[in-house]
Structure 1
Amino acid sequence: MNYSELVTVMRRLAIEAGDRIMQIYDAADFDVNLKADTSPVTEADEAADALISEGLRAAFPDMALVTEEQADSHDIKAARFLIVDPLDGTKEFIKRRGDFTVNIALVEDGVPVRGIVYAPARGRMFYTDSVGHSVEEEGPFDPEAPGVTRPIRVSKPDGDALMVVASKSHRDEATDAYIAKYPVKDMRSAGSSLKFCLVATGEADLYPRLGRTMEWDTAAGHAVLAGAGGRVVRFDDHTPLAYGKPGFANPFFIAHAPGVTLQKD
């Protein structure tokens, strides 16, 4: 696998998809429909999906591709595959709260090894470079010309004063009860895969998710966090979260910086 080419393509497509998403986001109105599982989907999801899928298939025609918006891809079984959420945080998009992202990742043997998370409304972009180290690029973002990047790294947590990030749209009593097991200095809410990136940059130490997610929601953020020295583990037994599961559904999980002593439920 030519990882340098992959990163170049993923970065370009994420920016182009983000530009298209923002054109729709900034419009006076946009269409919102419901999928079979009653989750919302907008014309921005569909436009970004078409753009990214076409670009990835053109660049990597022999690579399996899984994408949220194409149900026929959800039965794919492969040791290596690309996985896409063209607009993660659709509810944030609809509410015009800005915490939505474009997610593209490569999974190999159950592990997300490269990924990009682009938050166009926030002007932040995080990705793994060709050797798997994570960086944040400064905007403005040109799809053809990478800008200045800085390496990102997880924090060295203070075990007596943890920084916690949790879901903005999916917060519940179970999550709050689990967070209460830790000595928390500050807690913030964020939408979409940005939560992984806040742990990756050291802006948070811990992100627990006690709710339904799919692999396309998490793979890119997982790759970015891993490339910054972080970990993503199952909630039940604290083993590494694996990918390529039947149906691509995740169990509950915890994303964290090493040094956080994980609590049991």
Structure 2
Amino acid sequence: MNYSELTPIMRRLALEAGDKIMEIYNSDDFDVRAKSDESPVTAADEAADALISAGLREAFPDVALVTEEQADSHDTEALTFLIVDPLDGTKEFVNRRGDFTVNIALVEDGVPTRGVVYAPARERMFYTDSVGVAVEETGPFDKDTPGETTPIKVGEPDNEALMVVASKSHRDEATDAYINKYAVKDMTSAGSSLKFCLVATGEADLYPRLGRTMEWDTAAGHAVLNGAGGRVVRFDDHSALAYGKVGFANPFFIAYAPGVELKEG
């Protein structure tokens, strides 16, 4: 994979998809339907998926593509693949809360090595550059010419005063019970893959997820966090969270800045 080619293409497609999403988000009304797993889907999911998929297939025809909105891609078996969630945080989108993202990532040998997370309503964009360093680009965004970027790095956590981020739409008692094992200075809620990015920038130290997620939900944010020096491990045994699993479903996991003294579940 030519990373120097991949990075600008992922970035541009994320911005183009973000424009499509915001057109629908800012409209007076939009339809919400339920998929077979009862999760919501909108025209914004489908329009963004069509745009991103077409762009990736044109640029990288020999690389497998897995995307949430195309069920036939969920049987893919490959060591190297691109993986897309065209609109992560559909519940945030439907409720007009703004915490939704466009996620595009490259997975190689079970590891997300490159990714972009774009939050169009928040006007924040994070991605890995051609050498794998995580950066945040400052808007306004031009699709063809990247703006000013700042390398991002996880913070140095104080285990007596941790900053924790948790899911806005999927918070439960089990998550709260686990968080209560730590000495928490402050806790915030965020939607979608933005939680990974808040750990990557040092705005949070710890993000535990005790709930169902799929690899397309997490790969791009995981890549950004990797590029900022962070880690993502399984909740049960603290081994690295791997990708390319049959069915692409994740176990519970913990994303964190090294230095956090992880507690047992």
- For normalisation by structure 2, the TM-score amounts to 1.00
Alignment-derived partner of residue 143 in structure 1: 143
Alignment-derived partner of residue 2 in structure 1: 2
Name the CA distance, whole Å, in 2 between partners of 1:164 and 1:119: 20
Q: In structure 1, give the amino acid aligned to 2:17.
A: A
Give ranges in structure 2 of 5+ residues lacking alignment.
Answer: none
Alignment-derived partner of residue 250 in structure 1: 250
Is the partner of 2:75 in helix, strand or coil? Answer: coil
Alignment-derived partner of residue 118 in structure 2: 118
Q: In structure 2, give the amino acid aligned to 1:251.
A: P
Name the CA distance, whole Å, in 1 between partners of 2:60 and 2:246: 23
Alignment-derived partner of residue 33 in structure 2: 33
Alignment-derived partner of residue 236 in structure 1: 236
The number of residues matched between the two structures is 265
What are the residue-to-residue correspondences of 1:41-120 with 2, within 5 Å?
A: 41-120=41-120
Is the partner of 2:255 in helix, strand or coil? Answer: strand
Name the CA distance, whole Å, in 2 between partners of 1:45 and 1:54: 14
Using the TM superposition, give the Cα deviation of residue 3 of structure 1 relative to its aligned residue in structure 2, in angstroms: 0.1
Alignment-derived partner of residue 259 in structure 1: 259
Name the CA distance, whole Å, in 2 between partners of 1:75 and 1:142: 35
Q: In structure 2, give the amino acid aligned to 1:13.
A: L
- Whether 1:179 aligns to 2:189 is no
Alignment-derived partner of residue 205 in structure 1: 205
1:67-99 C-alpha deviation (Å, 9 max, x unpaired): 000000000000000000000000000000000
Name the CA distance, whole Å, in 1 between partners of 2:143 and 2:213: 29
Is the partner of 2:97 in helix, strand or coil? Answer: coil
- Whether 1:164 aligns to 2:164 is yes
1:17-61 C-alpha deviation (Å, 9 max, x unpaired): 000100000000011111011110000000000000000000001
Alignment-derived partner of residue 132 in structure 1: 132
Alignment-derived partner of residue 217 in structure 1: 217
Name the CA distance, whole Å, in 1 between partners of 2:259 and 2:81: 31
Alignment-derived partner of residue 196 in structure 1: 196
Alignment-derived partner of residue 155 in structure 1: 155
Using the TM superposition, give the Cα deviation of residue 159 of structure 1 relative to its aligned residue in structure 2, in angstroms: 1.0
Q: In structure 2, give the amino acid aligned to 1:59.
A: A
Is the partner of 1:107 in helix, strand or coil? Answer: strand
- For normalisation by structure 1, the TM-score amounts to 1.00
1:221-252 C-alpha deviation (Å, 9 max, x unpaired): 00000000000000000000000000000000
Name the CA distance, whole Å, in 2 between partners of 1:142 and 1:83: 24
Name the CA distance, whole Å, in 1 between partners of 2:28 and 2:165: 32
Name the CA distance, whole Å, in 1 between partners of 2:179 and 2:131: 34
Is the partner of 1:195 in helix, strand or coil? Answer: helix
RMSD: 0.3
Is the partner of 2:78 in helix, strand or coil? Answer: coil
Alignment-derived partner of residue 24 in structure 2: 24
Name the CA distance, whole Å, in 1 between partners of 2:4 and 2:186: 38
Name the CA distance, whole Å, in 2 between partners of 1:49 and 1:254: 28
Q: In structure 2, give the amino acid aligned to 1:245.
A: K
Using the TM superposition, give the Cα deviation of residue 12 of structure 1 relative to its aligned residue in structure 2, in angstroms: 0.3
Is the partner of 1:82 in helix, strand or coil? Answer: strand
Is the partner of 1:74 in helix, strand or coil? Answer: helix
1:139-185 C-alpha deviation (Å, 9 max, x unpaired): 01111110000000000001100000000000000000000000000
Q: In structure 1, give the amino acid aligned to 2:253.
A: F
Is the partner of 1:187 in helix, strand or coil? Answer: strand
Q: In structure 1, give the amino acid aligned to 2:145.
A: A
Give ranges in structure 1 of 5+ residues lacking alignment.
Answer: none
Name the CA distance, whole Å, in 2 between partners of 1:36 and 1:6: 33
